A and B are shown apart, each in its own frame.
Chain A
């Protein structure tokens, strides 16, 4: 009951990156609206979405930046990596080229974010099994070698979409709990929301003491 049903304790910044047409905006839309956006136009810019989720009993507000995937915008979208707590790196399992470019996306992410940024690899369009061009095993190996979290998902059916966003948040939250992510550090991508007046601080303190959550 503490804190009420709408308050949130943290804000996490996410970015979604990857080649053009891999379904970044559709993943965001599926996550925020629970709908598949057919005929989604190419993102010319950076879309912005938000949703409040629950991690270990903590309300966390996700601020998600969905970037344009076109190569010509690459130099511009690099501005948006800074201060991301989570990076969702997306490829299309039916187009090998989008997979082949991952290492370049990864290089950008590593160079432009901080070491505690959680990078989550998503193989999108897993509903199109017949057209598969990249095997699960291959991508899984790539993820493992690079220390990334990984799922195959479908923005169309919604499979694993929720999981990818939530697992990323859990990992970030864990980092905060372990003290690996320094909230005071610039560009941690996490903000602590000050409590609102009218809210009983004592009860939120109680919450703090039972932090050993199971995730």
Chain B
């Protein structure tokens, strides 16, 4: 049993509610506070009307303003394209050497090249051009199969390696072992010789040297320096695209592996290829 009464301690009125002898003081909320609550409700309803909000079975309510996040993105992309166009035309008009010489243009190409690299190249060559051991060449060292100058890199990116593009890089290493050109002993001997080239101490006068001179020098060059025109890697270094060590040399001479790469000129525009060239050239091994 309770009635609205004055609480003697606080001097406040009670609400008339009582639970097991506990009474509730009435502390009225300012009315404007309630109005603020209603204002937020009205705001929410206005929001439903103005912006996309309600799902329907196959669609959603579009809202009076016709706003969409995709539309915002499209506007942003258009703005970005516009702001890029000045740079793009500058890049188009400049040679690779001019781009590298112009600090502002170089920075732009580096950023653009990095983005394009991560989108297109990193799948095989790895983030930052680290490569993949046994499969795809490392682009950060100074060993280049097809040349490491700006022009060489541009050519390789634009036309690729061993593909349908008539201008693609192409070469084929004979299957010295599988096709019976050399015997297993001869291959073992030449592998020993290549390992001595690795160690920068050519084993002169060995049987391997003779085999190397007869069969390998034509592509890999005197002393195994390599030849970028035919994509023949240098052999006087420990760096290998495929398996390394003596076993690796034996395997490659017996039944060689060949890498291949798409012709990016068919997929990317010339400006992007320019930026990619500058970026790849900067990764550390550019010549």
Q: Do A and B come from one complex?
A: no
Give residues in B with beta carbon < 8 Å to A: none
